[in-house]
Amino acid sequence: MADPVSGSRRQWRCDWRLLLFTGLFLPLLLVLGFWQLDRAEEKQAMLEQWQKHSDSLDWSVQTKTGLEAGQPVTVSGQYGERTWLLDNRTRDGAAGYEVLTLFRPVQGRPLVVNRGWVLAPRRRDELPAITTPREVVVVSGRLSEYPEPPVLMAKPTAETGWPRRVQALKAEQVEALGLSVPAFVLRLDGRDQPGAYRADWAPDYMGPQTHYGYATQWFSLALALVILTAVASYRKTGNDNDQG
């Protein structure tokens, strides 16, 4: 196509350096995109299997078949007397605690349930008032790692009585009470769960939608690379562009 003013026209002109760059990175972007699609399908199948186990298998059976972080769990039983208040947890700029209570299922091993966040009193020597259901309840949530900060700034002080304020909680601390618990705690699915406080957790596992989002990003970059390569290769030629 000629330009009537300058007498120039646009045509395809290959730049071997640009084509080499595109030839190297385009396959990589496509591979990353398809890899994320595969991961999304694997995660979807895993979630469906977990959900099937949660709906059809008793807690006692699930603990024997193996547990993983992010796995959905529904279990019936009773909250126990022991509650740990995980210190230095903030929400919306306010200091508070996460409430972790021992739960005794009707069948199977006991486990610790993270019931969510509660606002701390103004005075440090006061603890929040915690109310706990005493009847048999059904709770649902997802398994999560025990809350153990990577670095503790100071050695925690020994606390007695219940509820008990702690800076971190490990499975070994619970087992020291003569209990055999899984390597995960159960985070409640929301405030409508029995005994829940503010249980609006940020997602801590990658679901299928996350992988689909990553795949879209990689494919978008691949498309952008193709378009930019095409635009850069379609140059003006004529009196001002063909002097070399």
pLDDT at 134: 93
For residues 59 and 154, the answer to whether their CB atoms sit within 8 Å is no
Residue written as token pair 């509650």: 83
pLDDT at 1: 47
Q: Where are the domains of the chain?
A: 12-68+206-235, 70-188
In order along its 244 residues, the chain shows pLDDT tens digits of: 445 545 456 666 767 787 888 888 899 999 999 999 988 887 777 666 656 655 556 777 777 777 877 788 889 999 999 999 999 898 888 999 999 999 999 988 999 999 999 999 999 889 999 999 999 999 988 888 898 765 554 555 556 778 999 988 999 999 998 998 999 999 998 889 999 999 987 655 566 788 888 999 999 999 998 888 888 777 645 444 444 4
| Number of alpha carbons in the 13 Å side-chain half-sphere of residue 43 | 16
pLDDT at 244: 44
Give the span between the Cα atoms of 133 and 117, in whole angstroms: 17
pTM of the model as a whole: 0.64
pLDDT at 82: 94
Which structure tokens are listed for 69? 């972080």
For residues 135 and 78, the answer to whether their CB atoms sit within 8 Å is yes
Residue 173 has a CB neighbour count (10 Å cut-off) of 16
Query: Left if phi > 0, otherwise alpha if psi is -120 to 50, otherwise beta: which for 74?
Result: beta
Contact residues for 171 (Cβ-Cβ < 8 A; gap 6+)? 146, 181, 182, 183
Give the span between the Cα atoms of 8 and 239, in whole angstroms: 7
When the pLDDT of each residue in the chain is averaged and rounded to a whole number, the result is 82
Give the span between the Cα atoms of 231 and 68, in whole angstroms: 49
Per-residue buried b or exposed e for 223-232, using 16+ beta carbons within 10 Å of the residue's own CB: eeeeeebeee
pLDDT at 243: 46
| Number of alpha carbons in the 13 Å side-chain half-sphere of residue 57 | 18
pLDDT at 203: 58
